[in-house]
Amino acid sequence: MSPEQYVIDVQRVHWRRNGRTILDDISWQVKRGEHWAIVGLNGSGKTSLLNLICAYEWPSQGEIHVLGQRLGKADIHCLRRSIGWVSPALAERYRAYEHLPAEDIVLSGKFASIGLWQQVEQDDVEQARYYLSLFHVEHKAGQPFGSLSSGEQQKVLLARAWMTAPDLIILDEPCSGLDLRAREALLASLDQLAAQENGPTLLYVTHHIEEIMPCFSHALLLKEGRIVAAGKKEEVLNPSMLAEAFGLSLDVAWKHGRAWISVNKPLSYSSP
């Protein structure tokens, strides 16, 4: 397949910063119809890879094609309008706009803006309410964003990501800080949306294996900026691969299409 036929095509990418190698010889392809989980410890390169894919950073070496366009030659602003993004950093940027109603937060996604500065049509409002309903927070549409719980805020930001009907949605640890019930409610909504025909490709970044829902077909496992394994999740999320990535002896049990891990031997530290 040519690079234009992939949603994402990363070829021999290296990224160095301040003399330190962050990503080392990354080659990775995502086809249409696939949903990927990106897994690894903190500092393994997960978010750095996303920053390159969205052209917030540039590789030191190698090529990246996203949605058929080569980064460095594409109109980045137009390309980003085809990509939805949800991350803790995005939530933090909205701290200054906590007074805005949830509906306006979703509407801002149409313009890829932080805050709502443009005129909107009634059709836009109805679309925003529709996406809020998909995440079961339509009853919060008129409430200030800052008054919502952490789980509700994340659902509003997810609705925002869907607002432009993007081709690619990147979810960077969207369950960070959520309690168990809020996490499971959010994951169930994602799993339902991913099953929609002709929906966007999803990339889900996490270091919690149990968050990888049945809708995710593939997994990319990273360690210290290098790929440990990439492929169908059942082949990647096995004890030996996970042990290599996490540095622990692990067991994996599959239940209801999700992988659950247990630690065979806890880490121990000798006294100095």
Rounded Cα distance, 69 and 73, in Å: 8
pLDDT at 61: 94
pLDDT at 254: 96
Instruction: Give me the residues paired with residue 255 across strands.
Output: 258
- State the average pLDDT over residues 229-239: 96
Q: Tell whether 157 and 123 lie within a shared domain.
A: yes
Q: Tell whether 207 and 75 lie within a shared domain.
A: yes
* Domain span holding position 122: 92-165
pLDDT at 108: 86
Q: Which CATH number covers residue 13?
A: 3.40.50.300
Reported as type and span, the H/E element at residue 239 is helix 239-246
Q: Tell whether 9 and 74 lie within a shared domain.
A: yes
36 occurs within a structural domain? yes
- State the average pLDDT over residues 117-127: 83
197 occurs within a structural domain? no
Q: Tell whether 173 and 253 lie within a shared domain.
A: yes
Q: What is the mean pLDDT of the chain?
A: 89
pLDDT at 4: 67
Name the residue among 93, 131, 133 with its Cα closest to residue 115: 93
256 occurs within a structural domain? yes
**Residue 43 reports pLDDT greater than 60:** yes
With bands split at pLDDT 50, 70 and 90, how would you rate the model's confidence at 114? confident
Rounded Cα distance, 160 and 124, in Å: 12
Residue 160 DSSP symbol? H
pLDDT at 272: 47
Rounded Cα distance, 145 and 107, in Å: 13
188 occurs within a structural domain? no
**Residue 271 reports pLDDT greater than 50:** no
DSSP string, 97-110: GTTSBHHHHHHHGG
The C-alpha angle 210, 36, 112, rounded to 5 degrees, equals 105
Rounded Cα distance, 262 and 256, in Å: 17
Name the residue among 252, 248, 225 with its Cα closest to residue 22: 225
Q: What would the two tokens of residue 28 be?
A: 């990775």
Q: Tell whether 173 and 209 lie within a shared domain.
A: yes
Q: Tell whether 66 and 177 lie within a shared domain.
A: yes
Q: Could you tell me the strand order of the sheet in which 36-39 lies?
A: 83-86, 168-172, 201-206, 36-39, 218-223, 226-232
150 occurs within a structural domain? yes
* 244 touches 45 (CB < 8 A): no
Residue 181 DSSP symbol? H
Hey, is 203 helix, strand or coil? strand
* 221 touches 234 (CB < 8 A): no
pLDDT at 165: 85
* 183 touches 175 (CB < 8 A): yes
Q: Tell whether 72 and 135 lie within a shared domain.
A: no
Name the residue among 245, 204, 198, 202 with its Cα closest to residue 225: 245
* 85 touches 170 (CB < 8 A): yes
For 113-156, list the strands marked E by DSSP: none
Model pTM above 0.85: yes
177 occurs within a structural domain? yes
Please list, in sequence order, all residues whose beta carbon lies within 8 angstroms of the beta carbon of residue 240, skipping any fewer than 6 positions away.
Answer: none
**Residue 191 reports pLDDT greater than 80:** yes
* 55 touches 79 (CB < 8 A): yes
The answer to which of 1-5, 202-206, 228-232 has the lowest mean pLDDT is 1-5
Rounded Cα distance, 46 and 111, in Å: 26
With bands split at pLDDT 50, 70 and 90, how would you rate the model's confidence at 269? low
With bands split at pLDDT 50, 70 and 90, how would you rate the model's confidence at 245? very high
With bands split at pLDDT 50, 70 and 90, how would you rate the model's confidence at 63? very high
Per residue in 204-215, pLDDT (tens digit) is 999 999 999 999
DSSP string, 127-151: HHHHHHHHTT-GGGTTSBGGGS-HH
Q: Tell whether 136 and 177 lie within a shared domain.
A: no
116 occurs within a structural domain? yes
Residue ending a domain, among 113, 136, 165, is 165
- State the average pLDDT over residues 207-235: 96
